[in-house]
A and B are shown apart, each in its own frame.
Chain A
């Protein structure tokens, strides 16, 4: 069975190369950090506000993704309309769009001179750019596709006969969705939310283009890391480490519980 062993080596070596490629930068981060000085570095005045802002905005983003994305995923999963694959492709666009391009697009839509933004400004005096709301807009724009696609995949795997059965038992479509569909795709929802949250946490290009960067209001953790890199590199590394730890903890917790 020489050929089998060969095939295995042929697969294992690239696999380990891939693992090394991903792990080495993370390990380097741990090695280069000035462990003793972390508390002092994290005391840099822009660090804590940035972390707090990031946690606030990403939580809002996930809530919006769940509220808007779950019904959309259901629609995509169950619809037999011929336009459905097109709609699905449309939802995927922000995934392949460079984030800065996404930011520009958001400005064109919701900026003060934007298609929708101009109406909002003229009628209600609301301006979205440079606000925390703008940060949430940018994060939802990039994270929602992740959520929808993950949840849709999970819903497609759900035997459609359950819907009909629940209906014969007297459940309205809304009740069926709430008490049968959602609990049964809960693992998919959890992993979709985790992916979306991670994407939102790391969002930079769309945020800085659409929302700008102002400490405590729009300067999220990734933006703070970027700005710290030139003024206080050790603080940038320390903040990066904190973000890494938070991500690992949350993703690890979700992984164990939902993705058995």
Chain B
């Protein structure tokens, strides 16, 4: 039951134009900034929004094809939808919520309840089938919403930021449960999120959308190693620069030379530098690093034992240093420093 989608439509200022395909058992994460069209994409797959151009095929059957005037309404498609705020039916008990899908498809009440039971047990929620949704915690409610979506045996499971409404602790636990359940799901999962951790820990493939267009896709490993877009790099936590090859060892980035090993042939290149590789000094250091630049501190964010320091210089950089270093260097906004990066830490690849 594979998915082939060519999605093209305009809604207000959003112009969505991208192609998406997936195989059964795959978990595809869709990431992008707000307003990039992720939810719209999900809704076209669910049948809640119609395409203007393009088509959606699932296992050979056409779900949407404006060119052929074919459109399958949502209730006939085999999709399951989970949203950030669960949207469980408040007037139905947990088990009736989960059984709603099978019941709507004509399954007798008793069988629907059995099916619901199976799904709830798979998510560890089998003990309180008759309570109302308002008595559940947010994490439990989200899991019930997932069970409800899965109870219809969908070909396509659509998750729209399923963890974003949960507090950090619940989110971590629910993410773990979600991962286990998704691995066992035989259909295709499309997971929309803006949390890199969701994507990197749950997905087999990542798809990045910006302003309605696909900017990069690949496995987590590929994307982490070679982001090709500032947003993608931001998601995976790398400094990202664009430049042109000068020589085998040198790249020109906005007028400044960056020294790196193995600069590939061909003009435009992407340059990434891990924040942890950026070292900070009060005075210009002597010695080996040939990438040394004067910078000014523009922001400092403390995250646990590390600090993320935003720097402005020949280009913007983020450095990751220990909080001890912050204290020793007496780091403050506006302070002038020297940043160095070992050439070996700089990675360059074709754009």
Contacts and interface: CB of A to CB of B under 8 A. Distances in A.
Contact of A167 (B75, B149, B158): B75
A183 B100 CA distance: 14
Interface string A159-182: 101101111111111010001100
Interface string B103-123: 011000000000000000000
Contacts of B91: 183-184, 186
Given A161-B83, A175-B104, A168 B89 contact: no
Nearest to B49: A164
A63 B169 CA distance: 51
B74 A164 contact: yes
Q: Is the interface of B mostly helix, strand, loop or mixed?
A: mixed
Interface string B75-86: 111011101000
Contacts, number: 60
A183 B79 CA distance: 24
B74 A168 contact: yes
Contacts of A159: 87
B85 to A, nearest CB: 9
Contacts of A175: 104
Given A159-B87, A161-B83, A184-B90, A171 B100 contact: yes
A169 B148 contact: yes
Q: Is the interface of A mostly helix, strand, loop or mixed?
A: helix
Interface string B44-84: 00111000000000000000000000000111110111010
B83 A166 contact: no
B340 interface: no
Contacts of B77: 168
A175 B105 CA distance: 10
Contacts of B37: none
Contacts of B158: 168
A171 B46 CA distance: 13
A141 B90 CA distance: 34
B32 interface: no
Nearest to B48: A164
B101 interface: yes
Contacts of A184: 89-91
Nearest to A171: B104
B107 to A, nearest CB: 10
Nearest to A164: B48
A170 B100 CA distance: 9
B152 interface: yes
Nearest to A183: B91
A170 B105 contact: yes
A12 B156 CA distance: 59
Interface in A46-69: none
A172 B87 contact: no
A160 to B, nearest CB: 10
A148 to B, nearest CB: 22
Nearest to B91: A183
Nearest to A168: B81
Contacts of B74: 164, 167-168
A169 B77 CA distance: 9
Contacts of B47: 167-168
A253 B137 CA distance: 33
18 contacts: A164-B43, A164-B46, A165-B87, A166-B100, A167-B74, A168-B47, A168-B74, A168-B79, A168-B149, A169-B80, A169-B101, A169-B104, A170-B75, A170-B152, A171-B75, A171-B100, A183-B91, A184-B91
Given A164-B81, A169-B149, A170-B76, 7 more contacts: A167-B74, A169-B148, A170-B105, A179-B104, A183-B91, A184-B89, A184-B91
Interface of A: 159, 161-162, 164-173, 175, 179-180, 183-184, 186
